[in-house]
A and B are shown apart, each in its own frame.
Chain A
Amino acid sequence: MKSFLNYIAEVFNAIWTLLTGMKVTAKYFFTPWKNVTQQYPENRDTLKMFERFRGEVVMTHNEKNEHSCTGCGICEINCPNGSIEIISKTIVTEEGKKKKALDQHIYNLGMCTFCNLCIKNCPTGAIVMAQTFEHAVWDRTKLVKVLNKPGSLVMQDVKE
């Protein structure tokens, strides 16, 4: 008798679980405005990526065309496959001391794995991830970029 009651309870329980599942998919069906598909080439004008999107490594410059990179080379050390190369030069400051400064920050977009380690470990926050995503080129040498524009260092850089 007990197994018969178990049988009936099982049937009703099964129906209840099935209906719970169907409720979830019904919710998906009747809210089509929450679809995640983007109709790509047609919505290029309005398409904007979210803030944490890892598109491409760029170096931020302010209005006076100055960046914050000190040429310390921590990003080059942290990069897992060597997509960054820092070339530094020695300059003479106003007090007459010799200091190391950045000459070229070379970044190979073709090899970059977008792991974000260079940006996390930069002591001055000089480099950030941009939200661009259309990187296709016909010639692979165009993917090797020099990140610093012809500008100079920001004067007061805080070792963050």
Chain B
Amino acid sequence: MAFEKYDFTPLSQSIHQGLIENVSPLLTTIIEWTIIGVLYLLFIALFGLLLVYAERKVCAAFQQRLGPMRVGPWGLLQTIADFVKLLMKELITPNRVDKFLYNLAPFIVIIVPFLTISVIPFAPGLQALDFDIGIFFVTAVSSVGVIGVLLAGWASNNKYSLIGGMRSGAQIVSYELSVGLSLITMVVLAGTMQVSEIVELQRGGWFLFKGHIPAIIAFVVFVVAGTAETNRGPFDLAEAESELTAGFHTEYSGIKFAFFFLAEYINLFIVSAMATIVFLGGWMPFHFGGFEAFNTIMDFIPGLIWFFMKVFGVIFLIMWFKWTFPRLRIDQILTLEWKYLLPINLFNILLMATIVLLGWHW
């Protein structure tokens, strides 16, 4: 099949062999870590810039206007200009903040997406860490982000930041349940938590189609809970400008604010990447039943391109949510989770388990 030549495993194996033959094993490991780290840093920086630009353009299109057009052709340099401005701003530390916690919070918030991104398979053979419990690792590590938010709210010595941080913390902790449970629904269907195995199992068809009704319910719940996790979309009460004067990151300026800002967009990428891996087949092409000609055409597109197309699709869906719906109050946000999403999730797991046991799926 044409799809096999897009495999990245020979490339990574040849790099590994070349290093092992020439330098000691310890140095090989260190060099490999450095290469992976630098690649991920570059990827996150570029992707963050791209997502900020894409959000402004997509937002403008939904509002029947044009978005940034002046800075560079079609406004492409707008995000770079924004980041240069943020880098040059003065870092004002307010009067009686808790200095250590105040400075630590942006770092926690930006390191968490770095950790999560290491288990994402971008293409066959292009995955940094392949745990047996990959899905569990993702949910566990993304929970650490709450600490950053709560620290930022508390350490700012500002009652509005504290309220914003508490609200945001409550929201993130609540919606983690829904994210975890909907991922568990798909783990029940797959039978394994290993991320590369989950993608492999979708070779015959994406999980969204294989596990029909419960998978669709789980997908909707996952996308809604994912946008609430990242404090985005209609759930952005904690950080909206017209609410608590920017909530938990009010007292941060310059590069520290840039960390919070960037972390939000990388979290958006991570939520979309998890959605595509678990529901939409990761880097698997779109095959349709018995149409062999169609399948061979689909095979010509490399796995990397498939992955990014699907991720952009889910990101577009999440942005669509943000620019359509009005903001929810904090009590409405928590009601939605505890009274609606959680019971639906639990019932859905039961349904999926029944279907898997009875074999009523493809």
Interface, chain A (partner B; CB < 8 A): 11, 18, 21-22, 24-26, 28-29, 32, 34-37, 39
Contact = CB atoms under 8 A, between A and B. Distances in A.
Interface residues of B, number: 15
Interface in B312-362: 320-321, 323-325, 340, 344
A25 B324 contact: yes
Contacts of A26: 320
B64 interface: yes
B61 A32 contact: yes
Contacts of B64: 28, 34-36
Interface string B282-326: 000000000000000000000000000000000000001101110
B66 interface: yes
A18 B323 CA distance: 12
B62 A28 contact: yes
Nearest to B324: A25
A22 B65 contact: no
Interface of B: 58, 61-66, 69, 320-321, 323-325, 340, 344
12 contacts: A11-B340, A21-B324, A22-B320, A22-B321, A24-B324, A25-B62, A25-B323, A26-B320, A28-B64, A35-B61, A35-B65, A36-B65
Nearest to A24: B324
Contacts of A25: 62, 320, 323-324
B23 to A, nearest CB: 53
Contacts of A21: 324-325
A11 B344 contact: yes
B324 A39 contact: no
A25 B320 CA distance: 8
A28 B320 contact: no
A39 B61 CA distance: 15
A125 B314 CA distance: 60
A39 B66 contact: yes
B56 to A, nearest CB: 13
A29 B62 contact: yes
